[in-house]
Amino acid sequence: MEWTPWCPLDGQPVPNTIPPLPGLYRIRRAGRDTLDYVGQTGAGSMNLRKRLAMLRGAFAREMPYRAPHTAGPALWALRQISRQVTFEVSVAPLDAETPKPTRLGLEALALFEHREAWGASPTVNFGRMPDGFRISSDNNARLVAAGRRFRGGPTTANDESHVRGVPPRATEVTSPVSATWGGHAWTGWVTLEQAGGELPPPDARGVYRIRARGHSALLYVGQGKVRDRLRTHEAKTRRRDHAQGLVLKQAGPLECSWATYPPEAPELHLLEYENDLIALHLLATGVVPGAQFLG
C-alpha cells in the first residue's frame, strides 16, 4: 500500500490532497509514530473525502454518536484528555473497481502491520475507548423511538471497551491450514456437519477456520462461540439467496478446525486474533479467504 503524506484532520473541510476515491485511511496524534485508528471506505458512492468528513463530530462540544462514524466518540475523548491534541490523517487510495473483500483484507493487513510493529492495535480500533470515557450509542430512528439513544462522556466505570489489547500470537507467515497457524493450537479437521452437531463443546469460544476438504487455502476465518458460529455457516449453505452460503456450497465438502480460549477471554482479544489471521492468510496466499466479508 502506498500512503499519502500526513495532513491535518481538524474538523475543517477535508484537505484537497485527500482524493474522492475508495481506500484506506489512518489517523494519529501529531508527533506520534503509533496510530490511533485505521479504517477503510468505498461502498456505494462513499469515498475517502466523504468518510473523513463524517469525523467532524470529534471536534464538537459534545461527544458524537457512533454514527455516522464509529471512531468519532473515541477521538473526541482523546481531545478531552489533552486539549493540545491535534490529529493527522494519511490515506492509501484504491482503484474504484477494488472489490470490497479485498479492501477489507487490506484494512486487516494494515492493522496487523501496526500490531506487529508496536505489539498493540491502534488506540481506538476494535471499539476501544480511552480510560475514563463511556462511548455514545448508535444514532438511528429505532433507538430514538425507544428512548435509548444517548451521548457518552466521562465515567468512572470500566467495561469491555477499556480492555487492554494483546499482541499478535505469531507474525510468521506459514500455511493457513497448519496445526500452529498464527500461534494458535488448532484442533484437527472435521466436517462442518460434525462441528455443528456434537463438536466443539457448546460454550467453547475462540477462533475457527473453514476450508474445502483437503485444500491449502481457507474459505473463512471467524471468532466467537464456535459451535453456534459453525452451525450458522452450515445453515447458510442451504440458502440460495446468501452470497457467503453460495460460495461455501460451491466449494464442495467443507471441513473446519478451531482453537479455543478461556470463557473469560474478552471478545476484543478474539477480534484482534481474527484480524491477524485474515492478514496472515492474505500474506500467505495473496487473497483473503474466499467467503470472507460476504455477510
C-alpha cell recorded at residue 123: 488506540
The torsion angles phi and psi of 188, rounded to 5 degrees, stand at -70, 170
pLDDT beyond 70 at 135:
yes
Determine the Cα–Cα distance for residues 120 and 265; give it in Å rounded to an integer: 17
Q: What is the pLDDT of residue 212?
A: 97
Q: What is the pLDDT of residue 239?
A: 83
Which residue is associated with the grid cell 460454550? 203
Determine the Cα–Cα distance for residues 177 and 25; give it in Å rounded to an integer: 31
Which tens digit of pLDDT belongs to each residue from 161-195?
Answer: 999 999 999 999 999 999 999 999 999 999 998 87
Determine the Cα–Cα distance for residues 262 and 206; give it in Å rounded to an integer: 8
Cα dihedral 220, 223, 224, 228 in deg (nearest 10): 20
Is the CA virtual torsion 12, 16, 20, 21 positive or negative?
A: negative
pLDDT beyond 70 at 196:
no
pLDDT beyond 70 at 96:
yes
Q: What is the pLDDT of residue 217?
A: 97
Q: What is the pLDDT of residue 194?
A: 84
Q: What is the pLDDT of residue 220?
A: 98
Which tens digit of pLDDT belongs to each residue from 234-271?
Answer: 989 888 888 998 999 999 899 999 999 998 899 999 99
Q: Are 219 and 290 in contact (CB under 8 A)?
A: yes
pLDDT beyond 90 at 202:
no
Question: Mean pLDDT over residues 13-31, rounded?
Answer: 95
C-alpha cell recorded at residue 35: 496510530
pLDDT beyond 90 at 27:
yes
Domains of the chain: 7-162 (3.40.1440.10), 181-285 (3.40.1440.10)
Determine the Cα–Cα distance for residues 196 and 175; give it in Å rounded to an integer: 25
Q: What is the mean pLDDT of the chain?
A: 95
Q: What is the pLDDT of residue 241?
A: 83
The torsion angles phi and psi of 89, rounded to 5 degrees, stand at -135, 145
Which tens digit of pLDDT belongs to each residue from 55-94?
Answer: 999 999 999 999 999 999 999 999 999 878 999 999 999 9
C-alpha cell recorded at residue 57: 463530530
Q: What is the 3-state secondary structure (H, E, C) of the chain?
A: CCCCCCEEECCCCCCCCCCCCCEEEEEEECCCCCCCEEEEECCCCCCHHHHHHCCHHHHCCCCCCCCCCCCHHHHHHHHHHCCCCCEEEEEEECCCCCCHHHHHHHHHHHHHHHHHHHCCCCCCHHHCCCCCEECCCCCCHHHHHCCCCCCCEECCCCCHHHCCCCCCCCCCCCCCCCCCHHHCCCCCCEEHHHHHHCCCCCCCEEEEEEEECCCCCCCEEEEEEHHHHHHHHHHHCCCCCCHHHHHHHHCCCEEEEEEEECCCCCHHHHHHHHHHHHHHHHHHHCCCCCCCCCC
Question: Mean pLDDT over residues 199-219, rounded?
Answer: 93
